[in-house]
């Protein structure tokens, strides 16, 4: 996790960033992701964060569903191209 101060164009003062979060496949659907998310949000709230962002792979519908269920909405699309 990290905390960033964004330029005023984004109209957010302090943003928490959740990164590299996953639950190994044989332990999914046990509430571990929800528990990790709750702990992260508690920590960020104590730090005075007013918004939270994360990246999720477009090709990962399970992860996208998890984050949407927890209140996240798409904001910026990151485009990618591998160099040969």
Q: Where are the domains of the chain?
A: 2-69
CA distance 53 to 72: 8
Can you give the pTM of this predicted structure? 0.75
| Pick from 6-10, 19-23, 42-46, 59-63: least confident | 6-10
Contact between residue 56 and residue 63 where contact means Cβ atoms under 8 Å apart: yes
Q: If pLDDT is split at 50, 70 and 90, which confidence band does 8 have?
A: low
Kind and range of the H or E element at 14?
strand 14-18
Q: What is the CATH code for 2-69?
A: 3.40.630.30
| Tens-place pLDDT, residues 24-71 | 989 989 999 999 999 999 999 999 998 999 999 999 999 999 999 999
């Amino acid at each position: 996790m990290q905390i960033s101060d964004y330029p005023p164009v984004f109209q957010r003062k302090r943003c928490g960033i959740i990164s590299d979060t996953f639950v190994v496949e044989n332990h999914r659907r046990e509430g571990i992701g929800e528990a990790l998310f709750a702990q992260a949000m508690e920590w960020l709230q104590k730090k005075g964060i007013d918004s939270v962002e994360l990246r999720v792979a477009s090709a990962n519908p399970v992860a996208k569903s998890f984050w949407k269920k927890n209140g996240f909405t798409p904001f910026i699309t990151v485009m990618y191209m591998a160099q040969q």
